[in-house]
Structure 1
């Protein structure tokens, strides 16, 4: 028998937490807090597996990254298999100031990495956790206008890029998107907001 209930969305409001399989407890703390600077905020047993611990870290936005630990899981540094349905990587937001220090700070620990990678709208650097899971440090090349989010800038930059037939979003699209959002969201007393040359 068919259900006549209309289809409705389950509206999300952000990522609550991400849980990853980690190595042993101390290796996990040393990586997530000792390398990535995430405060270790609490722990308890894995409520679905009493052989495992469950560590909770604050990635910097008050949400949670949690790690299942097991004292029998030692660091392997082998790349996690890339298979359909698997998580490819975890991207963590860092400031431009931190981003440009990342290669030197990873090198000091002997952690292999990709080096800075140009992504047009952001800069990225890639390396793996102690179990071979790919981590990305991502740093936006822009700040959104007051009252707007990064996503607001990205959708406008995408529309501009597509209209121009460009391959990917780059700095010019971002600058034009920010200008458009400011015009749309902030008032002015000027009769015209057109570009001008006062020189």
Structure 2
């Protein structure tokens, strides 16, 4: 038996309401360029809109002009999607509360998650959306996941409940020391003062 190895998210498809409310939210609120539009090839009564969330992958939405937005929270039963999280820059993250408030969109305010800051709010159909901003940049040649696994190992070894900024800083130092060569014979911390 062999695995079916994935290499990243290709796209996520959501069931939307009418076409314009989908465009207004995904492009008009979240700034995702509307890049492609065609019929749903499995249901001729629906449209299929494609948006770029910023990394060249796709968020797609099936639309139907007879469906109207419902603002109730989407189901969170087992097997249902709890929320979608999108990465934003620190500069943007610092503006999220103000910009959601300008639109009258209720939100959670900033939540400190240790390794990232998050803000939650619902889309017009009740799907929980998270805008997240990492508190670190991975070293050259590494991904965010590389830092996270090292921070996790450090956290567990120390018996801490959740990843914090100290775990991240130590993970970053560890990854750099493993991957970056030096002419020094001793890379340990020093006090030159």
Normalised by the length of structure 1, the TM-score is: 0.96
Look up the match of 1:85.
Answer: 79
Q: Aligned pair 1:194/2:185, yes or no?
A: no
Look up the match of 1:74.
Answer: 68
Counterpart mapping for 1:172-183 below 5 A: 172-183=166-177
SS in structure 2 of the partner of residue 92 of structure 1: strand
How far the C-alpha of 1:23 sits from its partner, in A, is 1.5
Look up the match of 2:27.
Answer: 33
Q: Aligned pair 1:163/2:148, yes or no?
A: no
How far the C-alpha of 1:127 sits from its partner, in A, is 0.5
Look up the match of 2:142.
Answer: 148
- Is the contact made by 1:23 and 1:130 (CA closer than 8 Å) also made in structure 2? no
- Is the contact made by 1:157 and 1:176 (CA closer than 8 Å) also made in structure 2? yes
Question: Aligned match of 1:135 in 129, 138, 152?
Answer: 129
In structure 2, list runs of 5 or more residues that go unmatched: none
Look up the match of 1:51.
Answer: 45
Q: Distance in 1 between matches of 2:34 and 2:18?
A: 15
Look up the match of 1:10.
Answer: 4
Q: Distance in 2 between matches of 1:76 and 1:45?
A: 23
In structure 1, list runs of 5 or more residues that go unmatched: 1-6
Look up the match of 1:119.
Answer: 113
CA RMSD of superposed structures (Å): 0.6
- Is the contact made by 1:157 and 1:173 (CA closer than 8 Å) also made in structure 2? yes
Look up the match of 1:110.
Answer: 104
Which segments of structure 1 move beyond 2 Å, counting only runs of 4 or more?
A: none
How far the C-alpha of 1:74 sits from its partner, in A, is 1.4
Q: Deviations over 1:131-166 (max 9, x none)?
A: 101100011000000110000000000000000000
Q: Distance in 2 between matches of 1:194 and 1:127?
A: 45
